[in-house]
């Protein structure tokens, strides 16, 4: 059982890491100039913590779908589609999501709390699904 818990923690860590890396690689729009970035960041608002938690939970699930999708499906297309739907659902943009991710990860205590809440929420969902399947 301990091995299973350790594997679950490692899977979660690598899943979140994969989520963030995939998002940054596939979903971010190209920036034309570095000067535009600083101007743009000044106009982007931070996603509040509770909404960010929900976004990260759904992004984690989306990354699971992407990782387990058949080889004949384009990972890029699937990633773009899932994240576009996610951003539309939460009325946000990839730029705002990236800006908020950078903010939370620059503030270690805030990011730790946020990721702990995401992990707890996913564990609760996983446990409830396991009970249904038993």
Span 20-48, pLDDT tens digits: 545 544 444 444 333 344 444 568 899 99
So what's the pLDDT on residue 20?
Answer: 52
So what's the pLDDT on residue 41?
Answer: 52
The structural domains of the chain, with segments of one domain joined by +, span: 2-28+45-133
The count of C-alpha atoms lying within 13 angstroms of the C-alpha of 134, restricted to the half-sphere facing its C-beta, is 6
Please say if the pLDDT value at position 80 is more than 90: yes
Question: For 6-10, 86-90, 104-108, 118-122, which range has the lowest pLDDT when averaged over its residues?
Answer: 6-10
Of all residues in the chain, what percent carry a pLDDT higher than 70? Answer: 69
CA distance 97 to 82: 14
Mean pLDDT taken over the chain: 77
So what's the pLDDT on residue 28?
Answer: 47
The helix, strand and coil proportions of the chain, stated in percent and rounded to the nearest 5, come to: 80, 0, 20
- Widest CA span of the chain, in angstroms? 56
Q: Yes or no: say if 86 and 66 are a contact pair by the CB < 8 Å rule.
A: no
Structure tokens at 110: 């805030």
């Amino acid at each position: 059982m301990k091995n299973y818990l350790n594997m679950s923690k490692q899977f979660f860590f690598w899943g979140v890491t994969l989520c963030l890396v995939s998002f940054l690689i596939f979903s971010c729009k190209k920036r034309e100039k570095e000067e535009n970035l600083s101007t743009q960041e000044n106009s982007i608002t931070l996603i509040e913590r509770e909404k960010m938690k929900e976004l990260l939970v759904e992004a984690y699930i989306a990354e699971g779908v992407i990782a387990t999708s058949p080889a004949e499906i384009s990972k890029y297309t699937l990633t773009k589609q899932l994240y576009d739907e996610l951003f539309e659902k939460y009325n946000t943009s990839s730029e705002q999501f990236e800006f908020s991710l950078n903010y939370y990860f620059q503030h270690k205590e805030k990011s730790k709390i946020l990721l702990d809440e995401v992990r707890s929420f996913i564990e609760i969902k996983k446990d409830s699904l396991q009970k249904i399947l038993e």
